[in-house]
Amino acid sequence: MKLVFVTGTDTDVGKTHVAAALTRAWDANYWKPIQTGTTSDPGDTTTVQTLTRLPNARFCRPQVELEYPLSPWRASLKEGLVPVKVSDIEIPDEFNISPRPLVIEGAGGLMVPINEKEIMTDLIIKFKSPVILVARSGLGTLNHTLLSIEHLRYKGVRDIYVVFNGPLNKDNQEAVEAFAPDVKILACIPPCENGIEGLVEYIPSIEFLRV
């Protein structure tokens, strides 16, 4: 099974919209293992299903659903729950046996705590999956993007791809390529007001990935 893990450099970088575009472009399954903030938000699974208009069978509910819009660790504690361990998070059986690719969306960014000892990057390491790092295209993105890449390298993750989300900025794209020549730019996605319909054409075939 081909799988990818979608994460972001920051809040509101468009991670969920990019995950939806990837799911649609690759005719993939989608899974978000951990969802927080369920009291105030329908959740990213619902959002992706609405955007892609794919059948229900392409989606599974998150393994962990938490009420408060906090990190999984802090949200669990606030609900009086024992925080989940990375070792307890497993890909749903129906996706393990599916011939389709699987798009996994993380909760927040790489350093978001899952519990008092583990962060989202540890989940990436467990799944041994390529990482698609969603980043803003504009001012300030170089620091966030290169720091995220440096963190992944430090953790031993080498299969990294970047999606720039926003108005085309060739300078920032070339800067990332210069400072991280081993990282590929998967796509540069412009602003789109019509859901993901205009985004899918910017996504290359999944064969572009080393999976």
Tell me whether residue 43 is exposed, middle or buried, using C-beta atoms within 10 angstroms of its C-beta: 0 to 12, 13 to 18, 19 or more: middle
Q: Are 139 and 40 in contact (CB under 8 A)?
A: no
Beta strands in the chain (DSSP E): 3-8, 29-31, 34-35, 59-60, 64-65, 102-109, 131-136, 160-165, 184-189
Q: What Å distances lie between residue 15 and 22, 98, 196, CA to CA?
A: 11, 24, 12
Rounded Cα distance between 48 and 110, Å, is 21
> Which residue is catalytic, options 2, 32, 126, 184?
32
Strand partners, 136: 165
Asked about 32 being catalytic, the answer comes back as: yes
CA–CA separation, 114 and 16 (whole Å): 19
Among all residues, which ones are annotated catalytic?
A: 32
